[in-house]
Amino acid sequence: MKITAIRGFRDILPDESGLWQVLTSQARASFSTYGFSEIILPLLEKTELFARAIGETTDIVEKEMYTFTDRDDSSLTLRPEGTASVIRAYIEHSLHQKEPVSKLFYIGPMFRRERPQKGRYRQFHQIGAEILGRDDALIDAELLLMLNDFFTALRLDVSIDVNSLGCATCRPRYRERLRTFGESKFAALCENCHGRLQRNPLRILDCKEEGCRHATIDAPILADFLCDPCRQHFGQVQTLLHNERVKITVNPRLVRGLDYYCRTSFEVLALGLGSQNAVCGGGRYDGLVEQMGGPAIPGIGFAIGVERLAMLLQAQERQNAEAPDMFIAPMGEVAENQAFAVARRLRQDGYRIELESGRRSLKAQMRRADKLAVPYVLILGENEITAGKGTVRDMQTKTDRSLAVDLSASAQDMMKAIRASDV
């Protein structure tokens, strides 16, 4: 009988591994510009590490870990995530004594015994990063900016959801208020949420059940309960990102399960590929290092799901494969006639050409070209047309180049001239 891979464990074959190479190299490149160094961690740790870091009563620790007894009777676990190991190493090697701030990233497999489903595996991969030693708004914004740069470099259109989870001063008051609110809606909440009301009322806000979402629609929000320092911190994070034109949305439902999570919490969503897809999650965890037996040092980090990211990039590639070869943007009626002829000529030779009306503004036409993900736009203006010229805009580099439009040239030569900036 033939032996197959274990359920939920898969091979990444050469047709896919190239893409993995691209995205892990991009992570290394993007992260290094922000001063991060790689930390390479063991796959196997003592079970108690995760019980302490993630929490004994979490689904991960209770139901999903690959835990076994070693030959010397010690309990070992295949790591279900990366942060716990980073913190363990940070404390074990006293990195805080060697440098005031540590910026570390890791890339590698994690293991959770979840129900296998499309795009979810029991051995999955994460690209994660942690910053230890700073708790100011600037560093939180920097981390988010780095993520934005990384996804932009991969040409994945993303939006970042952010929230502030407050601190030990302001959150307890909110938690009690939310518990009271939840109890008033008790009958409408699911069984899971009934338990959450006792253990961690914040989690009723991110329940996926329709009934719970509906019942919590007018729940009090944490933003109204933040203390002044937390409010200022969150405000500054948002301002810094707005100034850098990073797309962020404040999402009051973005909460986390454990007490040590505080202030900035975030999720990166991939846009433009059907339903919104979370591709990365993270946040600040100022109490964790201390809880793990280290000094009181603040931290913030994230983890990117590599399988999910690879899937999105492949979907995007497919979408781009269907994009037109070129978009023609005529300006005015004279140019329109010329563009009509050029489009006809190119289409006859099999090129996919999108032709716009010359009556729409250049800005509107460019917006549409961007949406269609075309590589080139040929801009034909009245003045240029009389001079037998056009402008080619490379949509990837956003650069313009003047081009002689020779209507007597063959379609192939015309396309070659348009694509010439590639060589």
Contact 254, 202 (CB under 8 A): no
Report if residue 222 touches Zn ion, rule: CB under 5 A.
no
Q: How far is the CB of 214 from Zn ion (least distance, A)?
A: 10
CA 152 to CA 267: how far, in whole Å? 16
Stretch that binds Zn ion, among 113-121, 200-208, 380-388, 403-411 (CB under 5 A): 200-208
Q: How far is the CB of 212 from Zn ion (least distance, A)?
A: 3
Q: How far is the CB of 216 from Zn ion (least distance, A)?
A: 9
Stretch that binds Zn ion, among 38-46, 99-107, 162-170, 393-401 (CB under 5 A): 162-170
Q: Which of 158, 170, 237, 328 binds Zn ion (CB under 5 A)?
A: 170
CA 268 to CA 147: how far, in whole Å? 8
Residue 44 backbone dihedrals phi, psi, to 5 degrees: -110, 135
**Cβ nearer to Zn ion, comparing 28 with 213:** 213
Stretch that binds Zn ion, among 66-74, 190-198, 239-247, 314-322 (CB under 5 A): 190-198
**Cβ nearer to Zn ion, comparing 59 with 333:** 59
Q: Rounded to the nearest 5 degrees, what angle is found at the Cα of 378, between the Cα atoms of 377 and 383? A: 140
Residue labelled with tokens 């948002």? 238
Contact 16, 309 (CB under 8 A): no
Q: How far is the CB of 231 from Zn ion (least distance, A)?
A: 8
Tokens representing 402?
A: 């003047």
Q: Which of 190, 248, 409, 417 binds Zn ion (CB under 5 A)?
A: 190
Stretch that binds Zn ion, among 145-153, 207-215, 300-308, 321-329 (CB under 5 A): 207-215
CA torsion through residues 154, 418, 380, 319, sign: negative
Q: Which of 38, 64, 206, 209 binds Zn ion (CB under 5 A)?
A: 209
Contact 50, 64 (CB under 8 A): no
Q: Which of 51, 84, 107, 193 binds Zn ion (CB under 5 A)?
A: 193
- What residues does 117 pair with on adjacent strands? 120
* DSSP string computed for 320-377: HHTS-SEEEEEESHHHHHHHHHHHHHHHHTT--EEE--TTS-HHHHHHHHHHTT-SEE
Identify which of 295, 253, 285, 247 has the alpha carbon closest to the alpha carbon of residue 82. 285
Give the up-direction half-sphere exposure of residue 90: CA atoms within 13 A in the CB hemisphere.
Answer: 30
The size of the chain, in residues, is 423
Q: Which of 53, 87, 104, 207 binds Zn ion (CB under 5 A)?
A: 207
Q: Which of 37, 169, 357, 361 binds Zn ion (CB under 5 A)?
A: 169
Q: How far is the CB of 190 from Zn ion (least distance, A)?
A: 3
Q: Which of 23, 129, 165, 212 binds Zn ion (CB under 5 A)?
A: 212
Helices (H), 93-133: 95-98
Stretch that binds Zn ion, among 142-150, 210-218, 239-247, 291-299 (CB under 5 A): 210-218
Give the up-direction half-sphere exposure of residue 109: CA atoms within 13 A in the CB hemisphere.
Answer: 14
**Cβ nearer to Zn ion, comparing 204 with 313:** 204
Q: How far is the CB of 402 from Zn ion (least distance, A)?
A: 57
CA 289 to CA 129: how far, in whole Å? 15
Contact 296, 132 (CB under 8 A): no
CA 248 to CA 159: how far, in whole Å? 6
Count of residues near Zn ion by CB under 5 A: 11
**Cβ nearer to Zn ion, comparing 212 with 288:** 212
Report if residue 167 touches Zn ion, rule: CB under 5 A.
yes
Report if residue 178 touches Zn ion, rule: CB under 5 A.
no
Q: Which of 44, 49, 188, 227 binds Zn ion (CB under 5 A)?
A: 227
> DSSP label at 144?
H
Report if residue 202 touches Zn ion, rule: CB under 5 A.
no
Q: How far is the CB of 217 from Zn ion (least distance, A)?
A: 13
Helices (H), 252-305: 288-291
**Cβ nearer to Zn ion, comparing 170 with 268:** 170
- Residues in contact with Zn ion by CB under 5 A are 166-167, 169-170, 190, 193, 207, 209, 212, 227, 230
